Structure 1
Amino acid sequence: MDWDDLRIFLAVAREDSLSGAGRRLGIDASTVGRRVARLEQALGAKLFDKTPQGYGLAPEGERLLPHAEAVELALSGARESLSGPGELTGQIRIGAPDGCANYLLPQVCARLCETHPELEIQIVALPRVFNLSKREADMAIAVSQPQAGRQVVQRLTDYRLHLAAHEDYLREHPPIRSRADLRGHRMIGYIADMIFDRELDYLAETGVDRAQLTSNSVSVQMQAIRAGAGLGIVHDFALPFCPGVRRILTAELSLTRSFWLIRHQDDRRSQRMNRLADALAQGIRAEVSRLQSILAIDETPAQEPT
């Protein structure tokens, strides 16, 4: 048994399909299938069960999985020891909700890449929870603390959200002086049955029953607000990227949420992953603080009484 066979085994276990494993590894699905068959023959054990949903681990595959992951971790540690203490190298995949992925991670990762030229960073923006056990990402940023699983969880930072609208919309519609006035305005928010985390259910905070324009993407919601389509709850750290969008009812409606960094438990033994996690955490804290500080503390939003 060699590492290349185990690497293919891990890819199929994490992707649940030969084609998905092939895409991950950069080889064709038929080659993946032949290599899996070769490994099963060498071990004299069936590693996968073929189902309509894909390739699931057979009992023998379940027993092999932790050993294959241990080999993967050991090889990663060997590479770390040879790369030296200062330089971060190799590939890292970061999963994040699209608000963080669009408005925070590009700046944070740009600085990381400049400091560590041999580091390759992949940002995966998906409006759902990432499955780290299947290595959809090496580490993930979430908006709530997970309650189960073999994971290392680290609180990154708090961030603020407020109700906002474009100044053109505010000029053309009735004034908003209290939450009661919101019922006469078009609301923008999440598609209710696609909210993947309770922390994203902002609409209840406004007292409005439903939103007329919805998306599962924070960025789409923000673009709708910029287009003057209505009002929505937005991240304060996103506002510097959105000229003309103004916070409203700040004294009456202000939300605070948190970002959490989630890693696979086995990665605690990896010096490289620990250093990457520390660098990412420091970068996100600094970027949230920088962007939020751009908004004047004594800002008087449009449409509020002075």
Structure 2
Amino acid sequence: MDQNWDDLRLFLAVAREQSLSAAGKLLRLDPATLGRRMARLEKTLQTVLFVKSPQGYALTEAGSDLMQRATKAEQAMRAATAGVPVQSDRLSGQIRVGAPDGAANYLLPQVCAAIAAQNPDLDVQIIALPRVFNLSRREADMAIGVSAPTAGRLVVQKVTDYKLHLAAAEGYLSAHPQIASVADLQQHRMVGYIPDMIFDRELDYLADLGVNRVALASNSVSVQVRMIQQGGGIGIAHDFSLPATPGVRRILTEEVSLTRAFYLIRHADDRRNARLSAFADALAVGLRAETARLEALAAGQTAPKA
């Protein structure tokens, strides 16, 4: 790769953090200076690497391609510094990923299958549990979380935002009173989390809507979605779950639209592990692309290329 390594180092930080300010803190570099460096890199390569928005910097297809190549260069640099030979580009061995069951059911299977297809000697294990994982006890090599932990020796990277909306089965909607506003929800059965088993405050969706009773509840996202699909009632569903749930559609999308985020969480001691870092980068890129693809399908739009 003939690009200046320092430019690539800065690029990787912005790509992983999806924010000039967050990357700037890690690099101890002024965000404005970092922004100019990224603009210069795009000009040099004559391609757009990021989609810039108030929410941050998201990689374009060209940016994702450069990230993969830059990650390989980073691995080579680390190996050379450590005095060990550069390993094959392919990943091998076992990697265990912990995730809440929404991500584990609707996103990770296809993302991890794609990574495994490119790395035949790699074994990927997905632990789907509706709770926070303890990486210090090595329950997993890395975890997906819905909030950024503030305690412990951890490295936290925001992966992507995702959207949630109220949803109901077509059959339920046709058999029950019309829903024209949030106030109308009081006349309907609600599906959601078991209140005392909500493991992260980011998941307490219904309380903000003034819903006091959850008629059908589960600590599992996939069970909630199935309850909605079976006509059990109305609930908050991840947009990325709806393409896999025929007969269910979003409602009151203008009045109720929630945005949450997935974070990739790793133990600080693993930062210099080239194998885990390469997998983490591939996982983050895949999760961003698959979330965008499925959300576009849910919204009835043309899905971007995977």
TM-score, length basis structure 2: 0.70
Give aligned-pair identity as a percent: 64
| CA distance in 1 between partners of 2:216 and 2:299 (Å) | 29
1:292 paired with 2:295, answer yes
1:178 and 2:178 are equivalent in the alignment: no
Residue 262 of structure 2: aligned partner = 259
Cα distance in 2 between the residues matched to 1:150 and 1:100: 24
| In structure 2, C-alpha distance between the alignment counterparts of 1:128 and 1:152, rounded to whole Å | 19
In our comparison, the structure showing a higher alpha carbon Rg is 1
1:145 is aligned to 2:153: no
Q: Which of residues 108, 112, 115 in structure 1 aligns to 2:111?
A: 108
Paired amino acid for 1:108: V
**Aligned mates of 2:300, 2:248 — CA distance in 1:** 16
Q: Distance in 2 between matches of 1:123 and 1:190?
A: 22
Change (3 A) 1:296 1:216: closer
CA distance in 1 between counterparts of 2:301 and 2:279 reads 36
2:160 to 153, 157, 160: 157
Q: Deviations over 1:248-297 (max 9, x none)?
A: 00000000000000000000011111111100000000000110111336
Which letter maps to 1:149? G
Give the counterpart of 1:136 among 129, 136, 139.
139
Partner Cα distance (2:223, 2:212) in 1: 21
Unaligned 5+ residue runs, structure 1?
1-76, 300-306
Name the counterpart of 2:37: none
The aligned amino acid for 1:185 is: H
Aligned to 2:211: 208
1:241 CA displacement: 0.1
Q: Which amino acid aligns with 2:113?
A: A
SS at match of 2:275: helix
Return the match for 2:197 from 194, 203, 208.
194
1:94 to 75, 94, 97: 97
Distance 1:296 1:264 in 2: 36
**Paired letter, 1:257:** R
The alpha carbon displacement at 1:85 in A equals: 3.6
Task: Give the TM-score normalised by the residue count of structure 1.
Answer: 0.70
Q: Please list the CA deviations of residues 164-185 of structure 1 after superposition, one character each: whole Å capped at 9, or x if unmatched.
A: 0000000000000001100000
Secondary structure at the counterpart of residue 265 of structure 2: strand
**What's the CA shift for 1:205?**
2.8
Pair 1:84-2:87 in alignment: yes
Residue 83 of structure 1 contacts residue 89 of structure 1 at CA under 8 Å; is this kept in 2? no
Runs of 4+ in structure 1 off by over 6 angstroms are: none
Match of 2:250 in 1: 247
- The DSSP-based 3-state class of the residue aligned with 2:133 is coil
1-structure distance, mates of 2:299, 2:150 = 37
Paired residues in the alignment total 222
- The answer to whether the aligner puts 1:238 opposite 2:241 as a matched pair is yes
1:143-170 deviation per Cα after TM superposition (whole angstroms, max 9, x unaligned): 0000110000000000000000000000
1:15-62 C-alpha deviation (Å, 9 max, x unpaired)? xxxxxxxxxxxxxxxxxxxxxxxxxxxxxxxxxxxxxxxxxxxxxxxx
Alignment partner, residue 41 of structure 1: none
Query: In 2 relative to 1, CA 277–298 (structure 1 residues): closer, same or farther, beyond 3 Å?
Result: closer
**Alignment correspondent of 1:220:** 223
User: Would the aligned equivalents of 1:203 and 1:210 in 2 still touch at CA under 8 Å?
Assistant: no
Deviations for 1:224-267, whole angstroms, at most 9, x for unmatched residues?
A: 00110000000000000000101000000000000000000000
Show the counterpart of 1:123: 126
Give the letter aligned to residue 111 of structure 2.
V
Q: How does 1:270-289 map to 2 (within 5 A)?
A: 270-289=273-292
Q: Secondary structure at the match of 1:266?
A: helix
